[in-house]
């Protein structure tokens, strides 16, 4: 008989090889010499299978997904500035913020569809609603937010149906903050060590980064007399972003290393300098538009650099088995 079958009464015709004993034929049972098979001193380094990663590397394309993280933040926080500008009588601030939000969310949608393995099936995202899937929640958020942001911008440009536009602007401001911060959950809800372990602080980092990007755009585009809220938001956002990032790295321990190495390190250093510099420049006031333009450019690039830095650091952490194995082994040893 060369095959076994699983029946309702259990396994039939199981092969005898299953019960084979390692080393029994050689005649030894039990340990006579007292030499243990396993070294008593734990290995100083972690073990791995030929140094191969444990995880499969994220399939997301950096330009699409890191770009989306950035644009989503820019759009969400811009909607807040748009609604604020509209409610406080700053049309010069509201207009570019509405256009920025609509442009950024359109580009995000394009990037998200482009990243799919089967772009023609992008509507399958709305097939179900799953709170356990941040991507499902995000798809529904965007499905609600994008039409509002686009309506707000369209009425702004055409000057028609203004009441509808105002309502859309306010409604977009309700969804905008969620669009800006859920992307942190999108990254954290993975097995990628440097994304997952930062789940407590990453939403604040992304909220701050969204604020700096949106205020950068507003600073560059709004007249100086109406840009006061953007100036203050730039400073507050920069403080939140950089502060939360520090706390996050300190808490993460070993898996914070990928943030400090190679390309992510360069990107994150650049993000820090550009965001700090941009926020400082944003405080300068005067007739000269050039500092505001420079501040805007610095804040926009700084926010983008942060998102790309975080993205690449996560990918690097998935590619090195150390970041998967060592913290888990430590956890087992501790318990």
Partner 1 sequence: MRDADEGRGNALYGPQPDVSGAAGYPDAPPRVGFFTDTSVCIGCKACEVACKEWNAIPADGLGLTGMSYDNTRGLGADSWRHVAFVEQRRPLGGQEPGVAHDDVDVFAAASRLGTDAPAPGPAPETAPAERISPLSPEGRTELRWLMSSDVCKHCTHAACLDVCPTGALFRTEFGTVVVQEDVCNGCGYCVSACPYGVIDQREDDGRVWKCTLCYDRLGVGMEPACAKSCPTDSIQFGPLEELRERARERVARLHAAGVTDARLYGESPDDGVGGAGAFFLLLDEPEVYGLPPDPVVTTRDLPGMWRHAAVAAASLVALAAAGFARRP
State the nearest-atom distance from the C-beta of 170 to partner 1, in Å. Answer: 13
State the nearest-atom distance from the C-beta of 159 to partner 1, in Å. Answer: 24
State the nearest-atom distance from the C-beta of 145 to partner 1, in Å. Answer: 12
Q: Give the up-direction half-sphere exposure of residue 87: CA atoms within 13 A in the CB hemisphere.
A: 13
Between 9 and 160, CB nearer to partner 1: 9
State the nearest-atom distance from the C-beta of 292 to partner 1, in Å. Answer: 13
Between 155 and 324, CB nearer to partner 1: 324
Q: Which residue has the tokens 């909607």?
A: 79
Between 137 and 167, CB nearer to partner 1: 137
What's the length of the chain?
A: 335
- Give the helix/strand (H/E) hosting 5: strand 5-7
* Greatest Cα-to-Cα distance within the chain, rounded to the nearest angstrom: 94
Between 35 and 160, CB nearer to partner 1: 35
Find the Cα–Cα–Cα–Cα dihedral 94, 172, 295, 238, rounded to 10°: 140
State the nearest-atom distance from the C-beta of 318 to partner 1, in Å. Answer: 7
- From the DSSP assignment, how many helices (H) and strands (E) are in the chain? 10, 2
Buried b (16+ CB within 10 A) or exposed e, 296-327: bbbbbbbbbbbbbbbbbbbbbbbbbbbbbbbb
State the nearest-atom distance from the C-beta of 156 to partner 1, in Å. Answer: 19
Between 204 and 308, CB nearer to partner 1: 204
* 12 bridge partner residues: 5
d(CA 42, CA 95): 63
End-to-end CA distance of the chain: 47
Between 5 and 160, CB nearer to partner 1: 5
Contact 238, 176 (CB under 8 A): no
Between 49 and 287, CB nearer to partner 1: 49
Q: Is the dihedral of CA 221, 150, 179, 66 positive or negative?
A: negative
State the nearest-atom distance from the C-beta of 160 to partner 1, in Å. Answer: 27
Strand duo 5-7 + 10-12: pairing = antiparallel
């Amino acid at each position: 008989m060369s095959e076994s079958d699983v029946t309702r009464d259990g396994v039939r015709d199981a092969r005898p090889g299953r019960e084979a004993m390692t080393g029994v034929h050689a005649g030894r049972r039990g340990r006579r010499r007292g030499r243990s098979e396993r070294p008593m001193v734990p290995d100083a380094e972690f073990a791995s299978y030929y140094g191969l990663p444990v995880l499969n590397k994220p399939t997301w394309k950096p330009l699409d997904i890191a770009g989306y993280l950035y644009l989503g933040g820019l759009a969400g926080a811009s909607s807040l500035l748009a609604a604020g500008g509209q409610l406080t009588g700053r049309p010069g601030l509201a207009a570019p913020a509405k256009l920025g939000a609509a442009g950024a969310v359109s580009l995000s949608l394009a990037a998200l569809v482009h990243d799919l393995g089967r772009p023609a099936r992008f509507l399958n995202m709305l097939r179900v609603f799953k709170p356990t899937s941040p991507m499902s929640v995000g798809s529904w958020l965007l499905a609600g937010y994008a039409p509002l942001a686009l309506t707000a911008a369209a009425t702004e440009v055409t000057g028609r149906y203004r009441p509808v536009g105002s309502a859309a602007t306010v409604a977009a401001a309700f969804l905008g903050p969620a669009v800006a911060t859920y992307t942190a959950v999108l990254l954290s809800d993975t097995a990628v060590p440097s994304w997952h372990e930062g789940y407590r602080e990453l939403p604040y980092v992304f909220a701050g980064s969204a604020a700096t990007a949106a205020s950068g755009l507003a600073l560059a585009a709004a007249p100086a007399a109406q840009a006061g809220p953007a100036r203050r938001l730039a400073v507050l956002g920069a403080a939140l972003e950089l502060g939360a990032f520090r706390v996050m790295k300190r808490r993460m321990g070993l898996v914070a290393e990928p943030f400090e190495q190679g390309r992510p390190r360069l990107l994150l250093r650049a993000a820090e300098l550009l965001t700090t510099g941009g926020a400082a420049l944003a405080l300068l006031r005067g007739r000269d538009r050039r500092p505001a333009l420079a501040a805007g450019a610095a804040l926009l690039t700084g926010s983008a650099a942060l998102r790309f830095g975080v993205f690449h650091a996560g990918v690097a952490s998935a590619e090195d088995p150390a970041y998967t194995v060592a913290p888990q082994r430590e956890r087992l040893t501790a318990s």
